[in-house]
Structure 1
């Protein structure tokens, strides 16, 4: 039966501590309810920066949102969830929806998504998320009609978040 010295045990513990974070970073996420491979690729490709109040260039891509304190934002429609004190958010305009259908909004980290169309919040049709998935947190699907659309993002703990908007696959 092998015996280990204190130095040997300390070396094993040190190696485990150093490789643990690497293993955690490469551990795959649990499956989402639908594929988010497209969005994950957009997020990893360093999407363009976009400030709160700006317009998203297209409804089939991603942006790296620069958020504002929610206390400084005036959401045109009451958010579906009251944002915690000290969190961040953004208001965005999308290009007008041309074809009615199912669209999804995906976030890289924890946050609340409100889609506003015709002056009212659009009820989501499905949602999926994983709290332990680094760089990909949640995706919410909405049935949208043709016309103008805006997004209200709130309750984000950091000053930036990646966001993707696209037709559902």
Structure 2
């Protein structure tokens, strides 16, 4: 076979399910548990309580209807958004998202600064994970973006 054809065949083989699985290992910290939670997330209403250590699938609505605790840090008035409430979490958490969106953690009306993040566009059902220090107090997770329609959100302990 010609080298160019062999290269094309190798590229096609690398783009199959095994390659997607490999890309899911490209995160800065392990997210196997979170990927499972996101894939099994039941639907919940915007603003619902998300039990710590679980995931929920939330439909986004126009920003004006989202009822966020604070304006998103990014985006304009035409974006879509959703949020969940979290109680009873440890001080250091990670918010993991199934799809591309901006994530804010709001506590006491103010945005918390992230401690770090990891993301990859090549892992089906798992887009990114962001860590925050909440001090163990209740908080809201807000997601937003111009193309956001639906999103699974998991909140777990940062290891």
TM range, smaller chain: 0.7 to 0.9
Decide which moves more: 122-131 or 88-97.
88-97
SS at match of 2:34: helix
Q: Distance in 2 between matches of 1:156 and 1:50?
A: 21
- Per the alignment, residue 106 of structure 2 pairs with 116
Please give the per-residue CA displacement for 1:110-138, whole angstroms capped at 9, x wherever unaligned: 00111111221110000000122221110
TM-score between the two structures when normalised by the length of structure 2? 0.81
TM-score by length of 1: 0.76
Query: 1-side partners of 2:107 and 2:71: how far apart?
Result: 13
Q: How many residues align?
A: 150
Could you list the runs of 5+ residues in structure 2 that have no partner in the other structure? 3-8
Greater strand share, structure number: 1
What root-mean-square deviation, in Å, do the aligned CA atoms of Structure 1 and Structure 2 show? 2.7
Aligned to 1:69, which of 62, 72, 77? 62
| Whole-Å separation in 1 of the counterparts to 2:157 and 2:26 | 20
Partner of 1:82: 75
Counterpart for residue 104 of structure 1 = 94
Tell me, which stretches of 5 or more residues in structure 1 are unaligned? 3-15
CA 1:76–1:131: 2 relative to 1, 3 Å: same
Classify 1:156/1:40 alpha carbon distance in 2 versus 1 (closer, same or farther; 3 Å).
Answer: farther
Stretch moving more, 25-34 or 58-67: 25-34
The offset of 1:25, in angstroms, is: 4.2
Match for residue 36 of structure 1 among 31, 34, 42: 31
Whether contact under 8 Å (1:83, 1:154) holds in the other structure is no
Q: Is the 8 A contact 1:110 1:156 kept in 2?
A: no
Q: Which segments of structure 1 move beyond 6 Å, counting only runs of 4 or more? A: none
